Amino acid sequence: MHPAHLLFLFCLQTWSESQASNDLKLLQGEWEAVYVEATSLTTKVQFLNLRLLFEGKLLRWQMDDPFNPGKRQRASAKVLPRPWISPKRIDFYDRGQLIPALIYEATDNFLIIAISETDKDPLPKDFTPPDDRNRKVVVIFRKVRS
């Protein structure tokens, strides 16, 4: 391989790692859902109580369990932001594999995510409201703690 190609690949990797690091810093802290768009009312209610906590590369979340009123579902995953992809994407690590999980857009105080409504649906391509052909959940969060 030509030395110029190696230099280009090194610079590209450094730039993408820097972009991911910047977005990871922006995402740090606790976020609470303030608005939800979903095709299912059950899903909408469930996600209205969603809270996210970014701690380094770990994302923890909790939400109401729609089948057990008063109970909360909790989970966590190691994440990799991919801000150089359009739209920006966060992948989860699962047993050494990267799984595309959601798309996002973030500012200092607000975070918008879109995820597939079910495991069968593809990763959303945008933040437009869901419909029967485009089953996804779009959630707007506000930062409650850095």
Rounded mean pLDDT for each run of 10 residues along the chain, 146 residues in total: 45 58 94 93 87 96 84 91 93 86 95 88 88 86 94
Distance CA 49, CA 112 (A): 15
pLDDT for 5 equals: 46
The answer to whether residues 123 and 100 touch, using CB atoms and an 8 Å cutoff, is yes
pLDDT for 53 equals: 97
Which CATH topology does 3-145 take?
A: Lipocalin (2.40.128)
Residue 145 CB neighbour total at 10 angstroms: 9
Nearest to 83 by CA among 25, 141, 145: 25
**C-alpha distances in angstroms, 31 versus 44, 98, 132?**
17, 23, 28
The residue count of the chain comes to: 146
